[in-house]
Structure 1
Amino acid sequence: MTTSNPDLSTKAPGYSNMNVVNDVEKGSDLGRELTNSALASFTWSDVAVTVEDRKTKKPLQILDSCHGNIQAGNVVALMGPSGSGKTTLLNVLAHRTSALKGKIQGNIMMNGQVVDGSAVRMVSTYVEQEDAMIGILTLRETIDFAARLSMNGEISKKERASRVQELIDAFGLQRQANTIVGTPLRKGLSGGQKRRLSVASQLVTSPRLIFLDEPTSGLDSAASFECMKFIRQVAKQHNLIVIASIHQPSTTTFQLFDQLLLLSEGKTCYCGAVSDVQPYFERIGRPIPIHINPAEYLLDLVNSDFRQREESAENSSGYVQQAWMSSQDHKTLVSSTASAGGTASLSVKLPARKNTLAISWVLLHRNSIKSYRDFIAYGTRVFMYFGLAIMMGTVWLRLSYHQSSIQPFINAIFFGGAFMSFMAVAYVPSIIEDLHNFNKERANGLYGPLPFVIANTLISIPWLFLIALMFSIITYWLGHFNPTAGSFWMWVLWLFLDLLAAEGLVVLVSSAVPIFVVALAVTAFVNGLWMSVGGFLVPMGTLNPFWKYVFHYIDYQAYVFQGMMVNQFRSTTWDCARESASGGYQCMYPSDLQSQGKIRGTAVLQAYKYSWSDSKVGEWIGIMFAIILAYRILGYLILMLRKH
């Protein structure tokens, strides 16, 4: 039996029907269909959250017996002082509780039926307080990529473009359609426009239920009003349910809400229509003064941090809580939520499984736009590596093939490989921006870790190859390294593998600790470790066994150094110094050419105990590919295991 509501037939821009159906239990008559366009009510009852107090280690209730009942088309303000439980309640209602270490109780219902997390997530979207967006994309591109990721190729490009334009028009963003979101180096949208864009890009996923975490955070009163006005208009026009946690709205912004849920110390102080706020607080003896912002007055009234010590119990927030619990309004609300609940557990009939390759292609397209527009992503590193190449090429300029230049050549090989790797830390801010955006899109059900890792890996390959080629063209010929085409391209290969491994390390560390300063520090530390145990600064015969057997053999810089050493010394010869007294030769490295006043380059490799056979070089290349792949797989597993 289909549950329908003629008042909910209007479709939002870009909205499509999505079915939410009951699990069909054996022997039961459950099976009625709840269509996405028929979400008439969203209800919760007896929602409570208990955690362990960090100091006393005793149970601490941060949310206590919260009830609510919202009809389609309503916008609800979730208000309370800091620490009152607003964000906790919002996350519980949205089923974002993985980071909440505690016991959660209560029922959450849609259209009077108890639902699970998958059902809520399929018909809802969550707009976080922080605007996690790709700064270099334009406003139109941001919404379009959200549409491409959510619609899974279900509609044509023309229809998708039409829906994107409808959303732009609905939020009054026509003039900013081709303006970039904004980066640290390039100014883009204003704060209010970003907040509207955040909501618009989430609406393209066709939600019927929207959770907003501090949508007016960081905005002035005028921008806050405009932002909430647009949200209200969309909710009314398309019968959406909007629940927004909000801190101290202006009077005009407060009046845009249909309902208010006021919390203090995890307890409800009021839950009902905004239009009934004034008469209710008059009834309990706490009338809102004339010419006072109602929101400010209410927040001050229930704020226990500063008032409880100074005033009597009758004037404390506890009085307001007790007044609500004993009021007829509370009893009516509890009765309505209790009668709404059933025992059936709704779950979602999932749409067609998203194609991993198709999603990866969309992400790759988005990454490609970012990579050539965003100076921070790759432009900074191109500039840095170009400067390093000029410096290295001119410092080690036209070295001779005399034995006095052997050590400078070795130093140049170590410096080039190690610092190319170390400078990959410049990628940290870019990948952290991508990870924050990924976490937001993943939490809203757009895609998982695999497409993200595939797209991130593929976009890096052409850029890193170009960087390796540019660096090599400058340094290799200025430094007078082995002047053959084969040796040059082998040098390029080693630098390319070096950069691939270094970037994989950055992605791995940033995935584990997506905090800019921490990721930067850890990546720099690991690169310093690789330099220390690579076999150049401390010879392998001297290196402590612990560092040798635990770290040296997984050090990709060690294999790059070995490979580049073989590339330089395997087929070259060096002039020895002539002794003035005897007329003979004094060679730094003994070899079979010593009588001719020459040093065979393989003698240098013997001193470092490096094999120079093709099979050994091939083995090192294979190990490099294994390390590169391991970094990417480990990064994927971290993202996979991280709860969202």
Structure 2
Amino acid sequence: QMLREKKERLGVDAAKVEVRFEELTVEADVRVGRRALPTLLNCAVNAAQELATSSHMCTTRKKPIKIINGASGTIRPSRMTLLLGAPGSGKTTFLKALAGKLDSSLKLKGKVMYNGEEVNSSTPQYLHAYISQYDLHHAEMTVRETIDFSSKMLGTNNEFEMLGEAIRRKKGVINKVDQDLDSFIKATTFGEGSNLTTNYIIKILGLSECADTLVGDEMRRGISGGQKKRATIGEMLVGLARCFFMDDISTGLDSSTTYEIVKFLQQMAHLMDLTVVISLLQPPPETLELFDDIILLCEGQIVYHGPRENATGFFEIMGFKCPSRKNVADFLQEVTSKMDQKQYWIGDENKYQYRSIEKFAESFRSSYLPRPAKDDLCRTNNTGKREEILTSATRRISRWNIFKACFSREVLLLKRNSPLHIFKTVQITVMALVISTVFLRTNMNHKTVLDANKYMGSLFMAVVIVNFNGMTEIGMTIKRLPTFYKQRELLALPGWALLSSVFLISLPMSLLETGLWTSLTYYVIGYAPSFLRFIQQFLVLFAMHQMSMGLYRFLAAIGRTQVMANMLGTAALIAIYIFGGFVISKDNLQPWLQWGYWTSPFTYAQNAVALNEFLDERWASEFYYANAKTVGEAILKIRGLLTEWHWYWICVGILFGFSLVLNILTIFALEFMNSPHKHQVNIDSTKTKTECKKQKVGTRNASTGQVALPFQPLSLVFDHINYFVDMPKVTS
């Protein structure tokens, strides 16, 4: 409250935001019946059908289904709104539609407006925030670092410095404000963090004890599940948005923790004039009382939207009463269920008829008006601030700041993942020593073609091992993709910022690994005794390593799962080796397979290292083969490789070109491909629900409340079961 008052006095107050939605409908196209199952055959048939449909060769067999059906209402600022509904009722889709985060594959109809202005791509991102129900974080980062990164991406890392600037602008009655601000900063500053916004959020969420603890995962010890949920909430709260849409934030939390978090959110909503909508599955009574309004969503339709205290009264008018022993939240979700509705009927049992969801929604729209006069007053007061909201987009951070935030995070992750990079370094060192002993220079001559063939084998192994060492990018990229997809959606994290940071971080690691290999093998094996040749071989291997890392990053980005990425990586590895010109010479390839030779990156790496070695003076012994006059040229001719020196620089340039193109393609894959773990709607279950809700129980026999079960009921009987544990002899 002190922060709010000081902002108002200093002229940096933010406007209230009222959310209105009119005839909001969200549709999805789903496949019918067995074709919806994700089998290998179905995936192949569906892909072929999608291709044929895009070519207008056939029509799609998908059917539209309404996830949200004609929802209308108003969500007022300075109030807490609870979104209730059974699983599968459309709560997540509804929240994403209000937050403007709806998936592009869904069809949106109707309007969502903030203070009368329709939400679109030009709406400032900091006005609204969607908090996901999934806790996806980098396991190697601490809680403070996770929230601090979100603060940088949302542009609030210097939010409290605005007060200092306002103080410097106003030279009047500032002493009291300055003292209060100084006390606030001292109260929220703790530890080593310098971001006041991050410190503030950490303290009010009760994360002070674990602020500098790693988040952790299945393989790394970290914070608890409840603390992860708080960190997830803190990621978006740190944005200081005006509208918050929170999806199932109680998942994995006990009731007391949920109450504390909701209590804090209630205080923020009331004191900071925020618009807050929270989805909970089964809130306890004490948590329910913290909310001001309730939205009851059933099968995509709003059955009730109004003050919390009037919810039971509306259903009592319809003939259903909540017992005193019953939790109101459970009553609201069960009263629309066909199996549970009858127990709440307060009239004559013989006159009971099932009230469908459509009847409740129609009765609510026609006879119940939950909109107080304050709505119009709020809209009138905020009309003058629309321009301020839409023109205050200067809080959007620049691309340079986005890059700095991503780059600093990647440097941090590099340090935390140092055991992996140390292992890679040790691995390539051991492999270099092994290969050096196999091709030891004491057993290597350079006078005949057979001697040259041995050197060709060692060069092949160098390119192969450097390529293999880049395959670790598959696992590292797959591991970071779920978190990236979440941050791309919620923090507007661009793919170029992530990939450019990863690419720059990989340069010194690539230099180290290829430098170690070249240093340990070049003179031990006995390649051309020239420092210039040494540097040129190092350059080829460095370019090959960069190409390899770019290739496997791209395959991971389009595969998106570990299984698919490994399959694509193995297939690509086999292809580039077969067409690389060593396993099968270019002269032995069929003419219609020549394209494979020129498109394989291995071709250019093998040609470059071979040219660098065999065009040296020590391979200039006379040997006539075809048009070749030396031993070096002869081995190149026999292997079907290039023989002119200028091809060395062309091959190196093509390898760097491969790396550049593959990294650009990876950026496009990160930007436009969606997460493979998105929820899919099943048409069969929806049909069953639709048919079930359209049935009316008109007769007395049908009103017995008995439902035919789809399985044979069995009885389980147990009697005199004891469970005990023998006490240790020491304690007994």
Q: Secondary structure of 1:178's match?
A: coil
Q: CA 1:623–1:250 in structure 2 vs 1: closer, same or farther (change >3 Å)?
A: same
| Aligned match of 2:14 | 37
Counterpart selection for 2:543 from 497, 516, 521: 497
The answer to whether 1:68 aligns with 2:68 is no
8 Å Cα contact 2:26/2:106 also seen in 1: no
Q: CA 1:144–1:330 in structure 2 vs 1: closer, same or farther (change >3 Å)?
A: farther
Q: 1:88: how far off?
A: 1.5
Q: 1:195: how far off?
A: 1.8
Q: Find the aligned partners of 2:132 and 2:351 in 1 and give their Cα distance.
A: 36
Q: 1:613: how far off?
A: 3.8
| Aligned match of 1:143 | 147
| Aligned match of 1:638 | 669
Could you tell me which runs of 5 or more consecutive residues in structure 2 were left unpaired when the two chains were aligned: 33-60, 165-184, 186-193, 676-732
8 Å Cα contact 1:192/1:227 also seen in 2: no
Q: Which piece of structure 1 moves more, 451-460 or 427-436?
A: 427-436
8 Å Cα contact 2:23/2:70 also seen in 1: yes
The answer to whether 1:82 aligns with 2:59 is no
Q: Find the aligned partners of 1:624 and 1:501 in 2 and give their Cα distance.
A: 6
Instruction: Map 1:221-620; keep pairs closer than 5 Å.
Output: 221-303=255-337, 319-327=356-364, 331-333=368-370, 348-349=390-391, 350-351=393-394, 354-375=397-418, 378-379=421-422, 381-398=424-441, 400-402=443-445, 406-444=452-490, 446-549=492-595, 551-571=596-616, 591=623, 600-620=631-651
Q: Find the aligned partners of 2:584 and 2:650 in 1 and give their Cα distance.
A: 23
8 Å Cα contact 2:246/2:278 also seen in 1: yes
The answer to whether 1:96 aligns with 2:101 is yes
8 Å Cα contact 1:81/1:302 also seen in 2: no
Q: Find the aligned partners of 1:49 and 1:642 in 2 and give their Cα distance.
A: 21
| Aligned match of 2:133 | 129
- Aligned-partner residue type, residue 207 of structure 2: L
- Aligned-partner residue type, residue 538 of structure 1: I
- Aligned-partner residue type, residue 50 of structure 1: E
| Aligned match of 1:579 | none
8 Å Cα contact 1:211/1:243 also seen in 2: yes
Q: CA 1:614–1:183 in structure 2 vs 1: closer, same or farther (change >3 Å)?
A: farther
8 Å Cα contact 2:615/2:632 also seen in 1: yes
| Aligned match of 2:678 | none
Number of positions where the alignment pairs a residue of Structure 1 with one of Structure 2: 596
Q: Which piece of structure 1 moves more, 254-263 or 192-201?
A: 254-263
| Aligned match of 2:236 | 202
The answer to whether 1:214 aligns with 2:248 is yes
Q: Find the aligned partners of 1:231 and 1:166 in 2 and give their Cα distance.
A: 14
Q: 1:67: how far off?
A: 2.5
- Aligned-partner residue type, residue 407 of structure 2: L
Q: Secondary structure of 2:19's match?
A: strand
Deviations 1:248-303 (A, max 9, x none): 34444444433322222211222223333344333333333444444344434445
What is the identity percentage for the equivalent residue pairs of Structure 1 and Structure 2? 24
Q: Find the aligned partners of 2:452 and 2:526 in 1 and give their Cα distance.
A: 12
Q: 1:397: how far off?
A: 4.6
Q: Find the aligned partners of 1:531 and 1:101 in 2 and give their Cα distance.
A: 42
- Aligned-partner residue type, residue 99 of structure 1: S
Q: Secondary structure of 2:14's match?
A: helix
8 Å Cα contact 2:19/2:113 also seen in 1: yes
Q: CA 1:62–1:609 in structure 2 vs 1: closer, same or farther (change >3 Å)?
A: same
- Aligned-partner residue type, residue 136 of structure 2: A
8 Å Cα contact 2:84/2:279 also seen in 1: yes
Deviations 1:317-358 (A, max 9, x none): x5354134214796414798997999x998832327643233
Q: Which piece of structure 1 moves more, 237-246 or 497-506?
A: 237-246
- Aligned-partner residue type, residue 206 of structure 2: G
Q: 1:153: how far off?
A: 8.1
8 Å Cα contact 1:401/1:574 also seen in 2: no
Q: CA 1:43–1:510 in structure 2 vs 1: closer, same or farther (change >3 Å)?
A: same
Q: Find the aligned partners of 2:334 and 2:665 in 1 and give their Cα distance.
A: 49
Q: CA 1:251–1:329 in structure 2 vs 1: closer, same or farther (change >3 Å)?
A: farther
- Aligned-partner residue type, residue 96 of structure 1: K
Q: Find the aligned partners of 1:430 and 1:227 in 2 and give their Cα distance.
A: 34
8 Å Cα contact 2:129/2:244 also seen in 1: yes
Q: Find the aligned partners of 1:236 and 1:62 in 2 and give their Cα distance.
A: 32
Q: CA 1:231–1:320 in structure 2 vs 1: closer, same or farther (change >3 Å)?
A: same
TM (norm. structure 2) is: 0.72
Q: Find the aligned partners of 2:572 and 2:600 in 1 and give their Cα distance.
A: 10
Q: Find the aligned partners of 1:525 and 1:330 in 2 and give their Cα distance.
A: 64
8 Å Cα contact 2:581/2:640 also seen in 1: no
Q: Find the aligned partners of 1:381 and 1:272 in 2 and give their Cα distance.
A: 60
Q: Secondary structure of 1:362's match?
A: helix
Q: Secondary structure of 2:70's match?
A: strand
- Aligned-partner residue type, residue 638 of structure 2: A
Q: Secondary structure of 1:389's match?
A: helix
- Aligned-partner residue type, residue 201 of structure 1: E
